[in-house]
A = this chain, B = another copy of it.
Amino acid sequence: MPTETTSTRAPSGARSLEHPDRADIRLADVLHALADPMRLRIVRVLAAAEDELNCADIELPVSKSTCTHHFRVLREHGVIHQLYRGTAKMNGLRRDDLEELFPGLVDSVLRAADLQAGRLGEE
């Protein structure tokens, strides 16, 4: 595809991101997504925030590409949803879907993370 740029696969206005249907979210995948310290950190920040957050709003000690990678893992495993708004990409927890599928799971993980952070003297 030499000269054409927009017809490659672009749908319409906003770029679209692939999200798994609720029914396709697997427990092992969710646990795996949460098992990484960096991603757990992202999820904690997202859970604490009222609104959806920009990727860059979450400070992480990793490069931008690595950051993209972690957000994608979270999205593809059904933990967060993402959508483009202008040049930014907004992120939010899929609380409703997860609560419906695995009642109480996310809350207990977040609570466990809080408790452990307190125990270890972090925040």
Complex CA–CA separation, A70 to B102 (angstroms): 24
**Is there a chain B Cβ closer than 8 Å to A115's Cβ?**
yes
Question: Are B27 and A36 touching (Cβ within 8 A)?
Answer: no
Taking a contact as CB atoms closer than 8 A, the residue among B28, B36, B112 that contacts A105 in the complex is: B112
Residues in chain B near residue A31, CB distance under 8 A: 31-32, 34-35, 40, 109
Chain B residues with CB under 8 A of A111 = 102-105
A-side interface residues, number (CB < 8 Å):
25
The reply to whether B40 and A113 contact each other, CB–CB distance below 8 Å, is no
Determine chain A's interface SS by DSSP, over half rule. helix
State the Cβ distance, A12 to closest chain B Cβ, in Å: 34
Q: Which residues of B contact A116 (CB under 8 A)?
A: 26-27, 101-102
| C-alpha gap A40/B29 in the complex (Å) | 12
A11 contacts the other chain (Cβ, under 8 Å)? Answer: no
Within 74-123 of A, Cβ neighbours of B (below 8 Å) are at 101-105, 107-109, 111-113, 115-116, 119
- Answer yes or no: A37 CB below 8 A from chain B CBs: yes
Per-position binary interface string of chain A over residues 16-41, scored 1 when its CB falls under 8 Å from any chain B CB and 0 otherwise: 00000001001110011011110010
